[in-house]
A and B are shown apart, each in its own frame.
Chain A
Amino acid sequence: MRIPQVTCMRAAAPNMPTLPNLHADSRRNISLWLWVGFSLCAVATVALFFIPAFIIRPFRYQAPRALVLAMSLRQRAPLGALIAALGCVFLAFALWRIVGRRRKGVIATVLVLVIFSAVMARLNYFEWMFHPIAGAQFLAQSGSKLDAKEMIMAIQFGGDARAYPISQMAYHHVLNDVVGGVPIAVTY
């Protein structure tokens, strides 16, 4: 992926302002390294978000090794993608001054993807699909509108009994609760 970009850059060189040969060479070298760095940072950022997102997608088979890869990338993604994206932005600034308009277009497009990935790596989009319950409220039985036939999950600690309607838990999936002083995670 990197090599074609380097080639393009060289092809673009003749359009640049004429400079003494020595300068042109070192300049070419610098811009080559800038492109290599920029590409590496971009690939890293995008991979840190997209690879786990692709592996852990609903209604698809998750192979055990792929899942481990997804979890390990996702574990490192919030910080890793941020650092890589910052590197990208820094290198993009450096490149911006020495490339032509078409290359600027490429840089801008890649940057958009990079920033999107870095932001997504820090957000939990599963909770956009299934919102968590913030500050669960409980009702007395008389206050509940549940039908007698509706299924609930029930627990009891000491004298405290609680019911979690499955229709609600099937959406929220996870609820952190404390019953009779015992912290529990209710899942469906």
Chain B
Amino acid sequence: MHFYLAGINNQNFLMRDKETGSWWQQITGKAIYGPLQGAALELVLSDELTFGEWRTEFPAGEVLAPVVKYTKEYDPNWEPDVAKLPVVISFPGTELKSRDVVIGLTVDGAARAYPWEAFAKQSPVLDRVSGTPLLLVLGPDGKSFRVFVSRVDGQDAEFFLQANTLQTNPTADVEKKSDATKQWTLIDTTTASQWNFQGCAISGPAQGKCLDRVPALKDYWFDWRNYHPETTIYKR
């Protein structure tokens, strides 16, 4: 099917498919109106990374080219600029502000939001949702993130960041940290193997093993909360 932008629903866009004209909500991938109402698209595992991080992980990867005609429309400051836009829904009873960035994830129907700032300070974050042990990691660049099932060979595992490469300042220049970046490793407390940001053990007894990934979405609190009314908020 082929989708096109068709409208906005409380700042989460609506798209329609050319084949049936049904209306789909961006965040859920569900058809909310039209012939396919009730159907859902399959969520594909994706990452939000810096170009620098992705480049080293996938040297053969391809990048979407800018469309020359619209390069003037691209906003290099999209992040602060979008954050300034007004919001139309808010959840005053909750402890987060509408434009607070969260990592949102769902495990077996239970949703949880991780406030970005707390996550970035504490990374790696170990948590448990619906009984599943989770590992949330901020990348070596201080901007990329990934979420894994914190389990090795069926056993719950704990991880810590190797102390000598601990990133404490996510805003520091990436170039200057290049030495630290190269050594960035996670250690699991069970086997003391070394793991990279892709969730794979690069040395030690677990070498060659990779953690299962958990789909997670970087979103504004108001949007995450709007579509996950039952969501809990992670607290240290």
How many contacts between A and B, using CB within 8 angstroms?
190
Does residue B26 face the partner (Cβ distance < 8 Å to A)? Answer: yes
The complex places the Cα of A173 from the Cα of B33 at a distance, in Å, of 20
Query: Which of B23, B51, B66, B69 is A152 in contact with, Cβ under 8 Å?
Result: B51
Does residue A11 face the partner (Cβ distance < 8 Å to B)? Answer: no
Q: Are A167 and B74 in contact (CB under 8 A)?
A: yes
Q: B1-9, B111-119, B124-132, B156-164: which one contacts chain A? A: B1-9
Per-residue contact bits, chain B 71-115, to A (CB 8 Å; 1 contact, 0 not):
001111011001001101100000000000000000000000000
Would A162 and B62 be within 8 Å (CB), given that A61-B89, A75-B21, A170-B75 are in contact? yes
Chain A residues near B74 (CB-CB < 8 A): 167-168, 170-171
Chain A residues 144-184 with CB under 8 Å of chain B are: 144, 146-156, 159-176, 182-184
Chain A residues 16-34 with CB under 8 Å of chain B are: none
**A157 CB to nearest chain B CB (Å):** 8
Q: Are A151 and B62 in contact (CB under 8 A)?
A: no
Chain B residues 194-220 with CB under 8 Å of chain A are: none
**On chain B, which size bracket covers the interface?**
35 or more
Does residue A131 face the partner (Cβ distance < 8 Å to B)? Answer: yes
Query: Which of B2, B73, B76 is A176 in contact with, Cβ under 8 Å?
Result: B2
Per-residue contact bits, chain A 52-89, to B (CB 8 Å; 1 contact, 0 not):
10001111111000011011101100000000000000
The complex places the Cα of A184 from the Cα of B45 at a distance, in Å, of 11
The complex places the Cα of A154 from the Cα of B50 at a distance, in Å, of 9
The complex places the Cα of A74 from the Cα of B14 at a distance, in Å, of 13
Chain B residues near A15 (CB-CB < 8 A): none
The complex places the Cα of A154 from the Cα of B78 at a distance, in Å, of 18
The complex places the Cα of A62 from the Cα of B34 at a distance, in Å, of 18
Does residue B121 face the partner (Cβ distance < 8 Å to A)? Answer: no
**B198 CB to nearest chain A CB (Å):** 10
Q: A41-49, A97-105, A106-114, A122-130: which one contacts chain B? A: A122-130
Chain B residues near A139 (CB-CB < 8 A): 62-65
**A123 CB to nearest chain B CB (Å):** 12
Does residue A140 face the partner (Cβ distance < 8 Å to B)? Answer: yes
The interface of chain A, by Cβ under 8 A from chain B, is: 52, 56-62, 67-68, 70-72, 74-75, 124, 126-127, 130-133, 136-141, 143-144, 146-156, 159-176, 182-185, 187
The interface of chain B, by Cβ under 8 A from chain A, is: 1-11, 13-15, 21, 23, 26, 32-34, 41, 44-52, 54-55, 58-67, 69-70, 73-76, 78-79, 82, 85-86, 88-89, 141, 143, 174-175
Known: A70-B7, A152-B50, A167-B78. 18 other contacts (CB 8 A): A56-B14, A75-B33, A127-B4, A133-B67, A148-B52, A149-B52, A151-B51, A153-B46, A153-B47, A154-B58, A154-B61, A156-B61, A159-B60, A161-B58, A161-B60, A161-B62, A172-B70, A173-B13
